[in-house]
Amino acid sequence: MEINSKIYVAGHKGLVGSAILRALVNKGFKNLVYHSSSELDLRDRQQVLAFFEEERIDYVFLAAAKVGGIAANNDYPADFIRDNLLIQTNVIDAAYQTDVSKLLFLGSTCIYPKFAPQPLKEEYLLTGELEPTNQPYAIAKIAGINMCQSYNRQYGTKFISVMPTNMYGPNDNFDLKSSHVLPALLRKFHEAKESNSKTVEVWGSGNPKREFLHSDDLADACLFLMAHYEDGEIVNIGVGHDISIKELAELIKSVVGYEGGIAFNPSIPDGTPRKLVDVTKINALGWQAKISLEDGLKAVYAEFRKEYQTIA
C-alpha cells in the first residue's frame, strides 16, 4: 500500500476494524474510507456496489461481520449465517467488479473442526465436523474463504484470508448476553467488586482452553500481511499459547482486584474443548504478537472503567 492509496475499512467501529483503522492512522495513511452500518448497509448489494463504483478503492480490510458469543450464536443462528454471507459476498464481489488491488478477509478460528488436533494448522480446514454452537457463523466464514480463493483462481484477484484467534481489546462488546468470554468476565468481576458480591458465576466447567490475541496485535498482523503476503491459502494469527477459562477467570479476578469467590456453572455448554492456533506460518513470514495477556487486560480494564457508565 502506498501512503496515498485509498483504503476501505469495513466494520471500522468494531473491535477488529477500529484497531485496523488506528494502525493505519498511526502509520500515516490518510486516504481512508469508512462508513457506519446506518450510512452503508453492507447486506444490500446495490448499496455496496454503488459505493465501490463511486469511491474507486485500492485496498479493502473486510472486518465487518455479525459476531457474538455462545449465547448469541445459539439464539440467533439464522441471523449469523444470513448477515455474514450477505456482507462478505457483497463486499468481495464489489471489490472484484471495481478492480480493487487487494482485499484482506477476516475469518475466525471457529472454522476448524471441533476435535481437530492441537495446535490448529491451516490445512485442518474442512477435515471434520464443526462445533455445533457456532456452526452457522463458521459455515459463513468458510464460504468467505472459498469465495476469495475462487475469485483468485477464476479472475486473478489478490484476495487473502486470515484466521485470528479469540480477540479482545478497545471497543469490545461487554453485553453479557452477546459478548465473548473475556469481556463478559471482565464486566462480571467488575460489577461483583462494585456490589461486594460474594461470588462470580462463570459459565461452563472452566476446563476449556482458549488463546487470546489483543486487537492491536491483530491489526499489526493484518497490515503486515497486506504488504507481504499474496498466497490464496489462509493464514492463522495468534499468540501461540493458551490458558484455561479457569485460569483466565483467576487472572481477570486479579486484574480487577475482586476478592470474592468463583462459581462455575457446568450446565452451560463449554463449546470446543481447546482452540489453539499454529502460528508457524505467520512467524516464518516475519511477524509475532507482542502484547502479553496480562498487560492487554490491564489496558482494557482501565478503558472499561472509564466507559462503564455508558456501557451499562
Binding site per annotation, positions for NADP(+)? 11-17, 106-109, 141, 180
Q: Which residues are annotated as a binding site for substrate?
A: 188, 203, 210, 270
Enumerate the known binding-site residues.
11-17, 106-109, 141, 180, 188, 203, 210, 270
- Taking alpha carbons only, the member of 210, 243, 229, 215 closest to residue 281 is 229
For residues 122 and 160, is the Cβ–Cβ distance under 8 A? no
Helical segments of the chain, H only? 15-26, 45-55, 70-75, 77-97, 135-155, 181-195, 215-228, 245-256, 280-285, 293-311
* Helix residue ranges per DSSP H, 105-242: 135-155, 181-195, 215-228
Q: Residue 163: in which H helix or E strand, if any?
A: strand 159-164
**Do the Cβ atoms of 61 and 164 come closer than 8 Å?**
no
Cell numbers that stand for 158 in this block: 489478490
Kindly name the residue from 59, 137, 151, 229 that is annotated as catalytic: 137
Buried/exposed 7-29: b ≥16 CB within 10 Å, e otherwise: bbbbbbebbbbbbbbbbbeeeeb
- Contact between residue 188 and residue 79 where contact means Cβ atoms under 8 Å apart: no
Residue 190 grid cell: 467488575
- Length of the chain in terms of residues written: 312
C-alpha cell at 209: 482452553
User: Among residues 147, 229, 171, which one has the least CA distance to residue 19?
Assistant: 171
Other beta carbons within 10 angstroms of residue 113's beta carbon come to 17
Per the annotation, the verdict on 137 as an active-site residue is: yes
Active site (catalytic) residues: 137
